[in-house]
Amino acid sequence: MKTFTGIVLVFFVCISSAQADEQAVSFGGYVKGFAFENLTSPWDFQRAGSRLQITASGGDGDPASFFGSVDFELDSRLLQDGVGLERGHGFDIWPVEMYLNLSFESFDITVGQQFIFWGRTTWVNPTDVLTGWDFSNMASEIEDYRLAPIAARLNWYLTDDLKLDIVWLPVFKPNRIPGMPPESLGNLDIVESRESLPAQNPENSEIGIRLSHSVSSWAFDWALCAYKGFERFPTVQLSPVFTQGQQGPEMQGMRWDSSYHRMWMVGGDFAKAMGSVLLRGEFAYKASDDMAGNNPIIQNPRMEYVLGISYLFTQEIELGLQYIGKWLFNYSREEEITAKQSMGYPDTFAEKQADHQASLFCKLKLTDDLGAQLLGIYDASYSDFFILGFLWWQLADSVKAYLGAVAFGGSEDSTPFARQRSSSQAFLEIKVSY
C-alpha cells in the first residue's frame, strides 16, 4: 500500500508541475464492461464487472515527460464472502503504469511502474523475466494478464543501431496463479497457508541488462541479455498440521508454504526478415538455488529455447508456428517422484527432463471493423494444451467488443496445462474509449 501511495503521489506531482509550467496534459482512458463464464462443469457463471481506466500524459520530452494509467474496477469476485474484503468490498484501484521519463541526446531514463518486455518470439519468451503474469485474468488485452513492475530503466543508444538496456527492480512482484493455494490436495485439506516474498532490501533487488543490435542492411536483429533476481513462480513446501486430540496428536491437514528462490539468467534472441517471412528464435539458460538437483521442490537449472516462423499473407492475415523446448540439467524424474513420496507429498507430479511443445498463432482482419486472434500451444510431452482466442468488433469509432475464450485441457489432470482446466472460461467485453 505504501508503494502504491508513493507512485500516485509522484504521478500527481508530475501533473501539477506540468500544469504550472503551462505544458499540455492529455487525459484519456476507457470504460469497460465484462462477463466471464466457466467452461467446465457445472458451467456456472464466474464473474462480471466494470472497469474505468484514466490515463494522463504530459511533458514535451525536453527532457521530461510522464505517463500514468490507473484502473478503478468493480468485480463480482470481490463481493464473495471472505474474498478480497480487505480490498474494499468489491471495489479495487491499482496503477497499470505510472512513470516519469527523461530523454537526453544519447540515453533515456524511465522511473516508475512500467511494462518491460524482452524477447522476440510470440507469447512464450524465455528471456522475458522482468514482467510478471496474471494467470487468473487471461483475456483480450495485455494489461489484463501482465503485471507491470516498479523499475528504473536506462536505455543507452550507443549508436543508431546499438542499444544497451539496463533495468533495476527494487520491489519483487510474483506471478498471480488462480487456485493457489488449493482447498485440498488429494484427500488432504489445506488448512493453513503462508506466502513468503523476498525482503525489500538492496540485496534482493533485481537487475537486468540487454544489448540489442539492428542490422538494417541484412534485415536482421539480435540481442544478448543477463538477469539476476528471483523465480516468479513459487516453490511450495507442504507440511502436516497436527492438533492434540484425546488419543494424542491428530492430523488435521497440510500447511502450504510458498516462497520464491533466486534465479540467474543469460540468454539471447534474433529475428530475420525475408520478404513476407519472419524467422525468430530465443534461448535462455536459467540457473537456480538447486544447481545440483538435490531438492525436489526447487527448480533445477534449465535451458529454454524457442524457434519460430511466421508468414504475412497480406497486411490483414498473419500465421505463425513455433517449436518450444526445455531441458532440465542434473535431473532424474524417477528420483524426484521418489523424493516427493518420501516427504509425504500427496501430489507427486514431476516434470520430464525434456519438454517439447508446438504453438500456432493466427491474426486475421476480416474487415475494417472485424477481426480475430488465436493462440494455441500443444505440449507433446504431456499431451495437454492451452488455447486463447477472441473475435473483436469495432462497433463505432470509440466502441469495441471482444468475444473469446480461454481453454486448458489434457489427457491427465496432473499435467501443467490440464491442472488449470477449471480456469477455462468464455468472456465478453465491451470497451468505450474516450
> Going by C-beta distance under 8 Å and a sequence separation of 6 or more, which residues neighbour residue 373?
361, 362, 363, 364, 389, 390, 392
Report the predicted TM-score, pTM, of the whole model to 2 decimal places.
0.91
> What average pLDDT does this structure show over 291-313?
96
Which residues of 1-124 form beta strands (DSSP E)? 25-38, 45-58, 64-75, 91-103, 107-113
Question: Quick check: 9 pLDDT over 80?
Answer: no
All 3 cell numbers of residue 51? 472497469
Average pLDDT over residues 98-115: 96
Residue 96 belongs to some domain of the structure? no
Average pLDDT over residues 8-15: 54
Q: Is residue 151 classed exposed, middle or buried when 0-12, 13-18 and 19+ CB atoms within 10 A define those classes?
A: buried
> Which three cell numbers mark 228?
539476476
- The grid cell for 226 is 543477463
- Asked if residue 60 is part of any domain, the answer here is no
- 273 falls within a domain: yes
The reported pLDDT for the residue numbered 212 is 98
Lowest mean per-residue pLDDT among 62-66, 258-262, 353-357: 62-66
Q: How high is the mean pLDDT of the chain?
A: 90
How many structural domains does the chain have?
1
Whole-Å CA distances, 2 to 8, 16, 170, 347 = 10, 21, 14, 38
Query: CB neighbours of 379 closer than 8 A, spacing ≥ 6?
Result: 355, 356, 357, 385, 410, 415, 416, 417
CATH number assigned to the domain comprising residue 287? 2.40.160
131 lies in a domain? yes
99 occurs within a structural domain: no
Could you tell me if residue 30 is inside a domain?
Answer: no
DSSP 299: P
Using 50, 70 and 90 to split pLDDT, how confident is the model at 17?
low
**Band (88; pLDDT cuts 50, 70, 90):** very low
Please tell me the chain's helix, strand, coil percentages from 3-state DSSP, rounded to the nearest 5: 10, 55, 30
Structural domain containing residue 368 = 115-433
Q: In this prediction, what percent of the chain has a pLDDT beyond 90? A: 74
Cα torsion angle, 392, 395, 399, 401, sign? negative
Is pLDDT at 136 greater than 90 in this prediction?
no
Q: Is residue 325 part of a domain?
A: yes
**In the predicted model, what is the mean pLDDT of residues 246-260?**
89
| Residue 69 CA to its chain's centroid (Å) | 18
